[in-house]
C-alpha cells in the first residue's frame, strides 16, 4: 500500500508541475490515436491487423499495437469512450506505473530485502529520469513492457528459490510464463530483449548461489516456452523486414544517445543534465540519468565487508545491472535496437534493487567517518554535473545542499527512529524533487501540442470523406500555430487523423514501407518533401496511370507553407481546387472532379482483364475475372509479405508494380474465374504452432513442478501430499 500510494503521490506531483506530462510526443502523436482507432475496429467486430488505406502504417502486425496482448486490447477497447485523451492516457499510464513499481517491490522482496526498503526502490523507479521523461511521458509500449518484465523477474526468482515444501502455483512456472509473454507481446522489441537478458542474469545468479543447474534450467525452459508463445508477435516483422526501413540495419558504432559511464552513474543529483549526443545537441536538457537522491550518498552507509561475504546471494541483480551498464555505452545500433540510452531504466532498476537490498541487509548508520564518505560522493556528483553544465552552477549547488540535508536527516532518523521512519523520509522527499524536475521542463520540449479533447479536434477540422493524402512538413509549423485554432485545425501529422475518424494515407510509423516512402519522400510522422507533389502525379510507366490513381486517393491536401503558389496554378487533369472556408491560411485542397474513387469496386488498374468485384475487406479482395488473352490487375494495396493469390483455388502468386503495389497476372483463357487476393501476417501458421508448443511445454513444466512438490512432501512425512493453500482454505487439523 505504501508503494501504491507513493507512486500515485509521485504522479500527482508531476501533474501539478505539468498536467500534460503523460500526454506528449509519441503518446499524443502515435499511441493515443492508435488506441482509439484499434478500439473502434474491435467494437465493430474487426481484428485490425491490416488497414489498407494507411499506406505508411497500416500493417499493425508490425507496428507497436500489441495485437496479441490482452491488457493492451483492453486499453484499446475503452479508448473510444473517452473524449479527453490526455485524461485517459494519464490514467492508463498511472495504472502501469503502479504495476511497474509493484514489480520492483516484488523483485526486492524475492532477493530478501525488507518491505520498507523494497517500497523505497519501488517508488523511486517510476520517478527516475529516463523512465519519467520518456517511457512514462512518451513511449507507452516501453512503459507497459517494462512493467510486465519486472513482474517476470520477481516470479523467476521465486520460481528458482522456493523450496519444494513451500511450493504453490503462485511460485511456479505459470506466473513466469504469463509475465514474460505479456512483456514480449506488447510488440516493442526492447522489453522482449531485456526480458531475455533478465532471465539469463537470474539463471546465472542462481547457479552461483545454489551451486546447482537444475533450478536455472527449469527457468530457462519456462522462458523458452514463453518465447515460443510470443513468437507470433515478431514473426511478421522479421519476415517483412526486407521491404521496410529496418531491413538493412546492422551493428553500428554510433554515438547518438550512447551514454558514457561517467554520466550513467551520475544518478543522485536532481539537477544533473548529462553530456552525450542526443536530440538537443551534446548537453541534454532533461535529467535522463537521474535515479534517486539517496542512491549514491547512502553507498557510504553500507557495510561492504558484509556485502562481500554475501556476494553470491546478489549475483543475479549485480549481473543484470552490469549488463545494462555496458549496453548504455554502446554500440549505438544492434539491428533494430538503436539508441542505447533507452536501457537507462534497466540500469536504474538494477541499481535500485542492489542498493536497497544492501542497505536493507547491511546498512550501518553509526560511524562518523561514513558521513565524510557521503560528502565526498556528493562532491564528485557536483563536479561531474558542473562539468557538463557549468551554466547551471547555482541549481547544482542547491541540489547538493538539498541532498546533503536529506542524507543527514535520513541517517538521524535511521539511528533514532529506525529504518522504517528513514525510508518514509526517502519516499516523501521524492515528490518535491519530481515536481521541481518536471516544472523546470514545463512545457516539455517534446510536445506536438495536439488538443486534449477529440471533440475539440473534430470541431476545428474539415470533414474529409474518402481517402486523403496530405503533402506537408511538420517542421514548417511554428510553435505559436500548434493548436486547434491554428495549424491543427487543418493539418494532420502522425496519427492525428485517427482521432478524427478520417482515412489518411499519412500516419506515424517506426517501420515504414521503404519503396513507398521513397516514392513520396514520406517520413515517420507523415511529413513529406516539396518534391512529393510532382511524384504523386507522375505516371507509373508499366501502367500509364498516375500514382495517386493507383492508390485510389480521393483528395490531396497541400500545406501552403510548403506550396505557397500551388492553388494559383491549374489543377492536374481530372482534379479541381476546392475551397474550405476557415482553412485557407494553412491548406490548399485538390479533389477529384468525378467524385471519390476509393469506394469504387475493383482494382486500381486492369489491363486485358474484365473484373467484377464480389467482395472486399481490409485483408482480402474477391473478384470474378475474365481474360481471353491474358492480362494484369493492379490493386490499391501495398505489397506487404503475406499476400496469397488464388485463381479458382489454385495459387498463382503475385508480383509488384513500382516495388509498391500488389499486381496479379491473369493467364490467357481465363473465363468467369474466382480470383481471391488474401493477406495474412507472414508466418502466422508457424506462430500458432509455436504458441501451442509453448503452452504444451508450460503444462509439462507445471505438472513436473507439482509432482516434485508431492514427491518431496511424501518423502518428508511418509503420507500422501495434501494440496493446501492457507490463503484460501481454513486451517485443518494436522496429524503429527
Please give the pLDDT value at position 170: 83
Would you state the torsion angle of the CA atoms of residues 538, 539, 541, 545, taken in this order, to the nearest 10 degrees?
150
Task: Decide if 89 is inside a domain.
Answer: yes
For 270-328, the pLDDT digits (tens) are 999 999 999 999 999 999 999 999 999 999 999 999 999 999 999 999 999 999 999 99
Domain that holds residue 703: 142-248+686-736
Contact 23, 89 (CB under 8 A): yes
Contact 300, 465 (CB under 8 A): no
Q: Which of 517, 546, 569 is the last residue of a domain?
A: 569
Contact 176, 148 (CB under 8 A): no
For 137-196, the pLDDT digits (tens) are 999 999 999 999 999 999 999 999 988 667 787 889 999 999 999 999 999 999 999 999
Same domain, 672 and 729: no
Looking only at the bridges linking them, the beta strands covering 650-651 and 610-616 are unpaired
**Residue 699 main-chain phi, psi, to 5 deg:** -60, -40
Q: Which of 23, 127, 62 is nearest to 638 (CA)?
A: 62
Q: Which of 400, 407, 495 is nearest to 448 (CA)?
A: 495
- Residue 150 C-alpha cell reads as 519486472
Same domain, 674 and 701: no
Ranges of the chain with pLDDT below 70: 164-165, 248-250, 709-736
Q: Which of 144, 132, 125 is nearest to 3 (CA)?
A: 125
Domain total in the chain: 4
Task: Decide if 260 is inside a domain.
Answer: yes
- Residue 351 C-alpha cell reads as 541499481
Task: Decide if 596 is inside a domain.
Answer: no
For residue 401, the surrounding DSSP H or E stretch is helix 393-416
What distance in Å separates the CA atoms of residue 378 and residue 407, rounded to the nearest whole number?
10
Q: Which of 156, 48, 136, 130 is nearest to 91 (CA)?
A: 136
What distance in Å separates the CA atoms of residue 45 and residue 708, rounded to the nearest whole number?
45
For residue 726, the surrounding DSSP H or E stretch is none
For 468-515, the pLDDT digits (tens) are 999 999 999 999 999 999 999 999 999 999 999 999 999 999 989 999
Please give the pLDDT value at position 709: 65
Same domain, 88 and 169: no
Task: Decide if 504 is inside a domain.
Answer: yes
What distance in Å separates the CA atoms of residue 346 and residue 436, rounded to the nearest whole number?
24
For residue 447, the surrounding DSSP H or E stretch is none
- Residue 484 C-alpha cell reads as 486547434
Same domain, 414 and 508: no
Q: Is 34 helix (H, G, I), strand (E, B) or coil?
A: helix
Cis peptide before 658, with omega less than 30 degrees from 0?
no
User: What residues are paired with 577 via a beta bridge?
Assistant: 590
- Residue 544 C-alpha cell reads as 500509364
Looking only at the bridges linking them, the beta strands covering 631-638 and 545-546 are unpaired
DSSP for 40-83?
A: HHHHTT---SB-TT-TTT-BTTTSS--TT-HHHHHHHHHGGG-S
Please give the pLDDT value at position 391: 92
Residue 313 C-beta-side C-alpha neighbours within 13 Å:
17
CATH number of the domain that residue 613 is part of: 2.60.40
Same domain, 157 and 94: no
Q: pTM here?
A: 0.93
Contact 233, 185 (CB under 8 A): yes
Q: Which of 180, 145, 207 is nearest to 701 (CA)?
A: 180
The length of the chain is 736
Q: Which of 412, 440, 468 is the last residue of a domain?
A: 440
Same domain, 121 and 260: yes
DSSP class of 302: B
Same domain, 263 and 226: no
Q: Which of 548, 569, 590 is the last residue of a domain?
A: 569
Task: Decide if 383 is inside a domain.
Answer: yes
Task: Decide if 575 is inside a domain.
Answer: no
Same domain, 497 and 427: no
Task: Decide if 586 is inside a domain.
Answer: no
Cell numbers 539517496: residue: 294
Contact 113, 154 (CB under 8 A): no
What distance in Å separates the CA atoms of residue 13 and residue 107, rounded to the nearest whole number?
26
Q: Is 87 helix (H, G, I), strand (E, B) or coil?
A: helix
Task: Decide if 340 is inside a domain.
Answer: yes
Please measure the distance between the N-terminal and C-terminal CA atoms of the chain and give it in whole angstroms.
Answer: 38
Same domain, 239 and 364: no
Q: Could you give the C-alpha distances from 236 to 230, 233, 362, 516, in angstroms and in order?
A: 12, 7, 49, 19
- Residue 23 C-alpha cell reads as 500526454
Same domain, 253 and 242: no
Q: In 258-400, where do the E strands start and end?
A: 275-278, 281-283, 333-334, 337-338
Looking only at the bridges linking them, the beta strands covering 539-540 and 545-546 are antiparallel
Same domain, 526 and 547: yes
What distance in Å separates the CA atoms of residue 119 and residue 734, rounded to the nearest whole number?
36
What distance in Å separates the CA atoms of residue 231 and residue 233, rounded to the nearest whole number?
5
Please give the pLDDT value at position 403: 97
Same domain, 536 and 620: no
Amino acid at each position: 500500500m505504501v508503494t501504491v500510494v507513493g507512486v500515485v503521490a509521485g504522479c500527482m506531483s508531476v501533474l501539478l508541475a505539468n498536467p500534460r506530462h503523460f500526454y506528449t510526443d509519441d503518446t499524443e502523436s502515435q499511441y493515443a490515436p492508435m488506441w482509439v482507432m484499434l478500439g473502434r475496429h474491435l467494437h465493430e467486430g474487426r481484428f485490425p491487423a491490416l488497414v489498407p488505406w494507411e499506406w505508411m502504417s497500416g500493417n499493425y502486425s508490425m507496428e507497436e499495437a500489441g495485437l496479441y496482448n490482452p491488457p493492451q486490447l483492453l486499453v484499446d477497447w475503452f479508448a473510444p469512450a473517452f473524449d479527453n485523451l490526455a485524461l485517459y492516457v494519464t490514467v492508463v499510464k498511472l495504472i502501469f506505473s503502479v504495476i511497474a513499481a509493484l514489480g520492483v517491490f516484488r523483485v526486492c522482496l524475492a532477493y530478501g530485502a525488507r518491505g520498507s526498503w523494497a517500497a523505497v526502490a519501488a517508488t523511486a523507479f517510476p520517478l527516475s529520469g529516463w523512465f519519467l521523461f520518456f517511457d512514462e511521458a512518451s513511449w507507452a509500449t516501453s512503459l507497459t513492457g517494462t512493467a510486465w518484465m519486472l513482474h517476470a523477474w520477481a516470479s523467476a526468482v521465486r520460481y528458482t528459490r522456493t523450496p519444494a515444501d513451500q511450493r504453490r502455483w503462485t511460485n511456479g512456472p505459470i506466473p513466469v510464463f504469463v509475465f514474460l509473454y505479456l512483456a514480449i507481446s506488447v510488440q516493442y522489441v526492447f522489453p522482449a530483449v531485456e526480458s531475455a537478458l533478465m532471465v539469463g542474469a537470474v539463471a546465472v545468479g542462481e547457479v552461483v548461489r545454489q551451486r546447482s543447474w537444475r533450478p536455472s534450467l527449469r527457468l530457462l525452459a519456462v522462458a523458452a516456452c514463453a518465447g515460443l508463445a510470443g513468437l507470433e508477435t515478431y514473426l511478421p516483422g522479421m519476415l517483412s523486414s526486407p521491404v521496410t526501413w529496418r531491413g538493412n540495419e546492422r551493428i553500428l558504432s554510433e554515438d547518438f544517445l550512447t551514454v558514457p559511464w561517467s554520466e550513467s552513474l551520475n544518478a543522485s543529483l536532481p539537477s544533473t543534465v548529462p553530456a552525450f549526443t542526443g536530440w538537443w545537441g551534446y548537453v541534454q536538457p532533461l535529467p535522463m540519468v537521474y535515479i534517486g537522491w539517496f542512491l549514491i550518498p547512502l553507498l557510504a552507509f553500507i557495510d561492504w565487508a558484509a556485502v562481500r561475504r554475501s556476494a553470491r546471494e546478489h549475483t543475479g541483480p549485480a549481473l543484470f545491472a552490469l549488463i545494462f551498464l555496458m549496453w548504455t555505452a554502446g554500440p549505438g545500433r544492434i539491428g533494430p535496437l538503436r539508441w542505447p540510452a533507452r536501457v537507462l531504466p534497466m540500469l536504474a532498476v538494477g541499481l535500485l534493487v542492489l542498493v536497497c537490498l544492501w542497505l536493507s541487509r547491511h546498512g550501518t548508520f553509526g560511524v562518523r567517518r561514513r558521513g565524510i564518505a557521503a560528502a565526498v560522493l556528493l562532491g564528485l556528483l557536483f563536479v561531474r554535473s558542473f562539468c557538463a553544465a557549468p551554466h547551471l552552477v547555482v541549481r547544482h549547488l542547491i541540489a547538493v545542499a538539498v541532498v546533503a540535508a536529506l542524507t543527514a536527516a535520513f541517517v538521524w532518523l535511521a539511528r533514532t527512529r529506525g529504518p522504517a521512519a528513514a525510508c518514509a523520509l526517502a519516499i516523501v522527499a521524492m515528490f518535491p524533487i519530481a515536481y521541481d524536475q518536471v516544472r523546470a521542463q514545463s512545457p516539455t520540449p517534446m510536445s506536438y501540442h495536439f488538443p486534449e479533447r477529440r471533440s475539440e479536434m473534430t470541431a476545428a477540422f474539415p470533414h474529409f470523406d474518402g481517402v486523403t493524402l496530405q503533402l506537408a512538413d511538420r517542421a514548417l509549423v511554428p510553435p505559436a500555430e500548434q493548436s486547434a485554432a491554428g495549424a491543427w485545425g487543418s493539418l494532420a501529422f502522425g496519427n492525428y487523423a485517427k482521432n478524427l475518424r478520417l482515412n489518411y494515407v499519412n500516419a506515424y510509423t517506426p517501420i515504414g514501407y521503404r519503396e513507398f516512402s521513397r516514392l513520396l519522400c514520406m517520413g515517420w510522422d507523415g511529413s513529406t518533401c516539396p518534391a512529393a507533389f510532382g511524384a504523386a502525379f507522375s505516371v507509373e510507366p508499366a501502367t500509364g496511370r498516375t500514382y495517386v490513381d493507383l492508390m485510389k486517393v480521393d483528395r490531396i491536401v497541400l500545406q501552403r507553407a510548403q506550396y505557397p503558389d500551388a492553388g494559383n496554378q491549374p489543377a492536374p487533369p481530372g482534379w479541381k481546387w476546392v475551397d474550405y472556408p476557415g482553412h485557407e491560411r494553412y491548406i490548399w485542397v485538390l479533389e477529384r472532379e468525378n467524385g471519390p474513387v476509393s469506394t469504387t469496386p475493383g482494382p486500381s488498374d486492369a489491363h486485358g482483364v474484365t473484373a467484377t468485384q464480389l467482395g472486399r475487406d481490409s485483408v482480402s479482395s474477391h473478384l470474378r475475372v475474365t481474360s481471353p488473352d491474358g492480362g494484369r490487375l493492379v490493386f490499391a494495396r501495398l505489397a506487404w509479405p503475406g499476400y496469397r493469390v488464388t485463381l479458382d483455388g489454385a495459387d498463382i502468386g503475385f508480383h509488384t508494380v513500382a516495388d509498391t503495389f500488389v499486381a496479379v497476372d491473369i493467364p490467357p483463357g481465363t473465363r468467369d474465374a474466382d480470383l481471391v487476393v488474401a493477406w495474412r501476417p507472414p508466418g502466422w501458421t508457424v506462430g500458432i504452432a509455436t504458441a501451442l508448443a509453448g503452452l504444451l511445454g508450460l503444462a509439462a513444466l507445471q505438472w513436473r513442478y507439482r509432482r516434485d512438490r508431492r514427491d518431496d512432501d511424501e518423502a518428508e512425512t511418509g503420507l500422501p501430499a495434501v494440496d493446501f493453500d492457507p490463503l484460501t482454505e481454513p486451517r485443518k487439523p494436522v496429524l503429527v
